[in-house]
């Protein structure tokens, strides 16, 4: 499928892929027949960039979790910065690093200890997707385990449009240009910059201020945050990408600091919908 512009290696084993994330040269035709059956298969490399993992627990009463952030490489070191959300046992503001091991075609990611808890992912990357399981040992959430699916969320596009609706059902629209950085912040989020113009005298035109989770404008997994500063106030928006890849972002907004303070909901559209 067509993909947009941006793209861990998960182990020193993978360094021959190169920092661009592309696989090395393939084997010559027919060479597979010359490889002994006992030779371990090489794992499929994951794609660099912004990821979200969704965990579904098999333990009764445990809530679903999300793990979101950057998977990449800095020099020869694995650089993995994720945030955990969905459980009171984890602080979503904490940036969690993971170490990796590879056995055959299976990859395991093991977190640093978080309030006594260690999270382990085990499964297979296939380009832009991950399928496997997770398990949590120790601490508040000890014993939680279940299935885990992951998706690489590429650059969300450059053209922005949409409609804001307040509690009184009054609406106003926005058009704008956005740019998502292809370099993650240390916390695993990707800054967004740009401009926006609103068709209401309360706001007019403004600048989209880049930031890092949890403030400013950024993308983290499927969460999109925008902070637009205008001469008449600041609009902040936090929404979630449609998992179908349609480019729709649905969420809530607040206008403050001017003469038209307001709150409500918004449905935005990013052109050239991300795909997987």
Task: Kindly report the three-state secondary structure assignment for every residue of 83-107.
Answer: EEECCCCCCCCCCECEEEEEECCEE
Q: How many residues does the chain have?
A: 276
Q: Whole-number mean pLDDT of the chain?
A: 83
pLDDT in tens, 197-245: 999 988 989 999 999 999 999 999 999 999 999 999 999 999 999 988 8
Q: Is 118 in a helix, a strand, or coil?
A: strand
Q: What is the pLDDT of residues 48-82, one digit of tens each?
A: 899 999 999 999 999 999 999 999 875 555 568 99
pLDDT tens, 126-140?
A: 878 999 999 999 999
Domain 12-23+39-152 sits in CATH 3.30.420: no
- Provide the Cα torsion 52, 156, 180, 90; round to 10°: -20
Question: Residue 194's pLDDT band (boundaries 50, 70, 90)?
Answer: very high
**Could you tell me which residue, 125 or 160, shows the higher pLDDT?**
160
Residue 132 vs residue 39, higher pLDDT: 132
Overall average pLDDT of the 150-158 stretch: 89
**What is the predicted pLDDT for the residue at 216?**
98
Listed by start position, the domains of the chain span 12-23+39-152, 159-270
What CATH number belongs to 159-270? 2.40.128
Domains 12-23+39-152 and 159-270 share a fold: yes
> Which residue has better confidence, 107 or 266?
266
Residue 21 has pLDDT above 60, yes or no: no
- Which residues touch 180 (CB under 8 Å, ≥6 apart)? 6, 155, 156, 190, 191, 192, 219
Is pTM beyond 0.85? Reply is no
């Amino acid at each position: 499928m067509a993909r947009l512009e941006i793209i861990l290696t998960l182990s020193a084993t993978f360094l021959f892929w190169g920092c661009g994330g592309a696989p090395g040269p393939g084997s010559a035709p027919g060479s597979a027949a010359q490889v002994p059956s006992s030779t371990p298969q090489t794992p499929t490399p994951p794609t660099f960039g912004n990821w979200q993992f969704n965990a579904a627990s098999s333990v009764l009463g445990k809530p679903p979790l999300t793990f979101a952030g950057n998977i990449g490489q800095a020099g020869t070191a694995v650089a993995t910065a994720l945030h955990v959300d969905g459980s009171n046992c984890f602080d979503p503001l904490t940036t969690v690093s993971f170490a990796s091991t590879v056995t055959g075609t299976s990859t395991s990611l093991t977190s640093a200890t978080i309030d006594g808890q260690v999270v382990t992912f085990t499964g297979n990357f296939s380009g832009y997707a991950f399928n496997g399981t997770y398990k949590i040992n120790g601490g508040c959430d000890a014993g939680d385990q279940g299935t885990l699916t992951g998706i690489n969320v590429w650059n969300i596009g450059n053209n922005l449009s949409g409609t804001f609706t307040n509690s009184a059902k009054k609406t106003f629209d926005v058009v704008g240009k956005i740019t998502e950085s292809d370099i993650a912040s240390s916390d695993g989020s990707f800054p967004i910059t740009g401009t926006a113009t609103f068709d209401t005298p309360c706001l007019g035109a403004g600048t989209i201020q880049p930031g890092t989770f949890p403030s400013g404008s950024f993308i983290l997994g499927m969460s999109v945050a925008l902070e637009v500063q205008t001469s008449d106030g600041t609009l902040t928006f936090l929404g979630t990408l449609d998992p179908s890849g349609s480019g729709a972002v649905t969420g809530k907004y607040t206008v403050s600091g001017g003469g038209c303070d307001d709150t409500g909901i918004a449905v935005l559209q990013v052109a050239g919908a991300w795909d997987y």
